[in-house]
Amino acid sequence: MEDILADFAGVIRRRLENRSYTTEDSVRYSFFVALLAHSSLEPHEVVLEYPHPQIAGAKIDTFLPSFDGRPTAIEFKYDREIPSGAAVPRPQNAGELFSDISRLARFVATPEPRRLLVYCTDSIMVKYLQNPANGHASFFNLGKNQRMTVDSSYLSSKPATFLKALGSQLSVELECRWSEALPNEHHLRVYGVGNSRGAV
């Protein structure tokens, strides 16, 4: 996985250096480029918009039925300045990010799946998430291979807009798998997401 994440970060870095128009799909496809280059997976083994087995009507962005012997569920999120210049709803965006984490934590398969959150964002959300007053600095500044728990104590001080976007209670352990500052004030984070019992 280390080689995949390093190559993926490089692809995103080059996109941003060249100021290529980038969307969440661009981030997702950049990950697939690295995934297929550094694994024995074939394109047909990558499943998009996979129905969540535990949450009716929900989907997982990407599902790999078998990657290094384990099923793997991946959620992608790219937060950026709105092209129209409209205000970015930062607490809502943060709540939606943690909703993705919750969706991953509730994903159950046999054997125990690998769960990854791939998050890319520009300066607007970076400033919001790094501001200690907003209560997310410990999450966003988590160092590579470091772990933290997100539970009721983490969520207790969050605003109603955040909690509404989150939509559910959450108790999960996260491990930072990749953390990098990118060109044009972007940052990339990849987190391993534990199950609802906490194991990553």
User: Quick check: 78 and 93 in contact, CB under 8 A?
Assistant: no
User: Quick check: 52 and 65 in contact, CB under 8 A?
Assistant: no
What are the structure tokens assigned to 42, written together? 């074939």
Percentages of the chain per state (helix, strand, coil), in multiples of 5: 40, 30, 35
Give tens-digit pLDDT for 146-184: 999 999 999 998 999 999 999 988 999 999 999 999 999
**pTM summary value:** 0.93
User: Quick check: 118 and 60 in contact, CB under 8 A?
Assistant: no
| Residue keyed to tokens 């984070």 | 189
**β 172-182/147-150 pair status:** antiparallel
pLDDT per residue, tens digit, the chain (200 aa), is: 999 999 999 999 999 999 999 999 999 999 999 999 999 999 999 999 999 999 999 999 999 999 999 999 999 999 988 766 666 789 999 999 999 999 999 999 989 999 999 999 999 899 999 999 999 999 999 999 999 999 999 999 899 999 999 998 899 999 999 999 999 999 999 999 997 654 55
Tell me if residue 138 falls in helix, strand or coil. helix
What is the number of other CB atoms lying within 10 angstroms of the CB of residue 176? 19
User: Quick check: 15 and 28 in contact, CB under 8 A?
Assistant: no
